[in-house]
């Protein structure tokens, strides 16, 4: 093709026809421009095809993360619900009996509230999108904004729960509870009960129970423990509600990003 154009241009030059040569030159330029535009169009089409394929892959990976997150949140809600229920049971017990000492099950519930769970958001795909800058591949601006808002809120809630665990459950409830009660747990907590029974005889355990009972019978300790329990129960309730909100948001985002794919 190039040889053809060269030969044609040469023949026209031999004719010494300037007008004809200019027309040919312009036509040749137009053909070159058209060729470039076609090449660019093909390149853009191919690049767009690659990006749409990558976008679909990203959406699928986000869907997997969100589905896993929803499953994990169900467990988080169940655990916080058990903490909340134990706190309510203890406060109800005090309302009826005007004391926090009694059967071993009371100690078991008190001790159970020392535990807490760390919230680890599943955000691998989103973090990769941010760190690599590939989040721009997502075409739908509304969906992109919802994804960013969701994961920013997930991070905020994770920080709130983490701070509550460290500064309230660990630093206040756990530390203060250890001053007043013993880890004599109910039958559901078999591991620690097995250890206690293997090391201590009934007389020793009875002595520990009596010391704890004496501590819990002091008015100022009763007030202190009452306040601790209320605070710990509120923390469990707030965490439970936070997890329910996250789960609702997770299901909504899943629905939003799946819809364009249907």
A 10 A CB-CB count for 126 gives: 23
pLDDT at 120 over 70: yes
Identify whether the C-beta of residue 62 lies closer than 8 Å to the C-beta of residue 126: yes
How far apart are the C-alpha atoms of 180 and 224, rounded to whole Å?
10
User: What confidence tens digit (pLDDT) does each residue in 30-42 have?
Assistant: 766 776 777 676 6
Does residue 63 form part of some domain? no
Give Cβ neighbours of residue 256 (< 8 Å, ≥ 6 apart). Answer: 143, 146
Mean of pLDDT over the chain: 81
Structure tokens at 254: 């899943």
Does residue 157 form part of some domain? yes
Domain containing 111 equals 68-261
User: What confidence tens digit (pLDDT) does each residue in 205-229 have?
Assistant: 777 777 777 777 777 778 888 999 9
pLDDT at 112 over 90: no
151/140: higher pLDDT: 151
Does residue 8 form part of some domain? no
pLDDT at 242 over 80: yes
Identify whether the C-beta of residue 238 lies closer than 8 Å to the C-beta of residue 183: no
pLDDT at 206: 75
Does residue 248 form part of some domain? yes
Does residue 28 form part of some domain? no
How far apart are the C-alpha atoms of 205 and 202, rounded to whole Å?
5
Half-sphere exposure of 201 (CA within 13 A, CB side): 1
Domain count, the chain: 1
Does residue 181 form part of some domain? yes
Does residue 199 form part of some domain? yes
Does residue 110 form part of some domain? yes
């Amino acid at each position: 093709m190039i040889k053809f154009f060269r030969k044609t241009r040469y023949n026209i030059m031999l004719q010494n026809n300037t007008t004809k040569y200019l027309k040919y030159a312009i036509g040749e330029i137009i053909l070159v421009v058209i060729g470039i535009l076609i090449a660019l169009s093909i390149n853009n089409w191919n690049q767009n095809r690659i990006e749409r394929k990558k976008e679909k892959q990203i959406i699928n990976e986000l869907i997997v993360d969100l589905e896993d997150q929803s499953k994990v949140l169900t467990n988080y809600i169940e655990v916080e619900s058990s903490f909340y229920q134990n706190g309510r049971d203890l406060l109800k017990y005090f309302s009826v009996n005007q004391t926090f000492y009694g059967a071993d099950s009371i100690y078991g519930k008190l001790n159970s509230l020392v535990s807490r769970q760390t919230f680890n958001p599943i955000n691998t795909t989103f973090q990769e999108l941010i760190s690599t800058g590939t989040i721009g591949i997502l075409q739908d601006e509304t969906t992109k904004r919802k994804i960013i808002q969701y994961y920013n809120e997930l991070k905020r809630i994770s920080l709130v729960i983490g701070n509550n665990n460290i500064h309230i459950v660990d630093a206040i409830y756990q530390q203060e509870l250890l001053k007043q009660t013993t880890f004599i747990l109910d039958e559901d907590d078999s591991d620690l009960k097995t250890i206690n029974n293997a090391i201590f005889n009934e007389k020793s355990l009875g002595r520990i129970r009596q010391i704890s009972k004496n501590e819990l019978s002091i008015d100022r300790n009763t007030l202190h423990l009452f306040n601790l329990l209320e605070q710990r129960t509120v923390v469990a309730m707030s965490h439970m509600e936070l997890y329910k909100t996250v789960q609702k948001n997770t299901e909504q985002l899943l629905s939003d990003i799946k819809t364009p794919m249907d």
